Structures are given as structure tokens and as C-alpha cells.
Structure 1
Amino acid sequence: MNWNKLTSAAQLDEIKEESAKQPVLIFKHSTTCSISAMALSRMERNWSDQLGVKPYYLDLHANRPISNKIVSEFGVEHESPQVLLIRNGECVYDASHMAISFAGLQQAV
């Protein structure tokens, strides 16, 4: 799995544009949380590029202002860990904690 790092709030505009061509996943990860580490590992172990989703990884500790902007841009309450599926510039699916799964993402796509 090849993560695209989300390190700039300006990238959110790019993600919205990209999501018109293909779905985009944002994985909000807390590097100090064992639940977040487990959710990330499960996603990576089950990931398939054949799904056609472009994955972005957000390190919450290094980039908290970006997470705050995600709340306002996509209208999804902050949780950690959390995944958001963006399609046509809007969040069409989100899950957090133990609800994060590749199977759930597949169904949403």
C-alpha cells in the first residue's frame, strides 16, 4: 500500500478535485494510540489497489490544523482514528475506531 501523505491544508482542495475522477480515502492516524495503530495495520493488510481508491495518510500529531480543517470542509465530526471516503468533493462515508475496515470501505465504494 502506498500512502500519499497529507501534510498541507491546501491538499484538501486537490483531494476534492481528485475525488471527481476517483474516490479518495483519508486515514486520520494518532501515532500514540494503540487502537489507531491496529486500525491502520488492518487497513494496510487488507488493502487492494484494485478498489480504485487513492489513499491519504494524516498524522494527527504533526498536522492537527489539517484535521480541524477536514471537520469544516467535509462536515464530519473529528475522531481518531478515522477514515473518510471522499467522492465528488464530499464525504460519502466515515468510520472510526473498531468500525474501520477494508470491507466497510469496499461497500461504500
Structure 2
Amino acid sequence: MNQLVELTSVDQWNDLYQSGQAVLLLKHSTTCPISAEAHKQFEAFRESYEGDNLTFGIVKVIEERPVSNQIAEDVQIKHESPQCFYINNQRVSWSASHWSITRKAIEAAL
């Protein structure tokens, strides 16, 4: 299975973002039922992904507010939760929020 990186510091986010590597990132609220469903969809995609060129990341927006805020600033997309991004070379080529985060939507975007 593909490893999941939990972002718990702004420095950790900066390292990942500035690396230029391809990242599928989920901003997840641990108290929201919509976010719980988005997390299930994200995990279903991650578990089925057969490539090796994608880093999977997650930030818990309540617990790690500074990281979440820095992500919103860096990618220039207003914060929502849940929210999912495909980032490659520091550019967001796909994003979705709330009920739009589905395994099928992620598959289609990538």
C-alpha cells in the first residue's frame, strides 16, 4: 500500500511542497461527517493506486491549523474542509471539496 504522510508542521509541508514531487493531499476535519466520507474515498483511491510516482499527504485541519493555513496561502485556494488537491511541481492541477471528493473523481483527475 502507498504510504501516507501526515503533515504536522509547516516545515514538513514546505519540504514536501518545495520538492516539486506529485502529491495528492487531503485537508481533513476529524469532527466532520462529510470529511469522514471524503477520507474514506481518499483512502480507497490510495489503497488501489498502483503507481510509485505519487506522495499521499493528509493534514488534520483542526489539530494542525497553521499547516492548513500555509497550504491555503501557498496554493492560493481558499480553505475548505474537506478539501483535496493534486499538486505537481508546486502547481495545483485539480482540487475538490466536500461531496466532490470521490475515488472516481480522483481517478479521473489523475
Q: TM-score range by the shorter chain?
A: 0.7 to 0.9
Tell me the C-alpha RMSD between the 2 structures. 1.6
Counterpart amino acid of residue 49 in structure 1: Y
Q: Distance in 2 between matches of 1:55 and 1:43?
A: 9
Aligned pair count reads 107
Choose 39-48 or 82-91, whichever is displaced more. 39-48
SS, match of residue 4 in structure 1: strand
Give unmatched runs, 5+ long, in structure 2: none
**AA matched with 2:70:** K
Note the alpha carbon deviations across 1:87-108, whole angstroms, 9 max, x for none. 0111111100000022222222
Which 5+ residue runs of structure 1 have no aligned equivalent? none
Structure 2 CA distance for aligned equivalents of residues 53 and 101 of structure 1: 18
CA contact (8 A) 1:93 1:108 kept: yes
Write out aligned runs for 1:22-61 (5 A).
23-47=22-46, 48-51=48-51, 52-61=53-62
What CA deviation, in whole Å up to 9, does each residue of 1:45-89 have, x standing for no partner? 233231442111111111011111111101011000000111011
- Is contact 1:16-1:90 (8 Å) kept? no
Following superposition, the deviation at residue 39 of structure 1 comes to 1.0
TM-score normalised over the length of structure 2: 0.86
* Counterpart for residue 12 of structure 1: 13
1:3 aligns with 2:4: yes
Contact kept? 1:83, 1:95, Cα under 8 Å: yes
- Between the aligned partners of 1:100 and 1:11, the Cα distance in structure 2 is 24
In structure 2, the CA distance between the partners of 1:28 and 1:104, relative to structure 1 (3 Å rule), is: same
Q: Secondary structure at the match of 2:10?
A: coil
Using structure 1 for the length normalisation, give the TM-score: 0.86
After superposition, what is the alpha-carbon deviation per residue over 1:1-40, rounded to whole angstroms, capped at 9, x for unaligned? 532110111122222244x34x201111100001100111
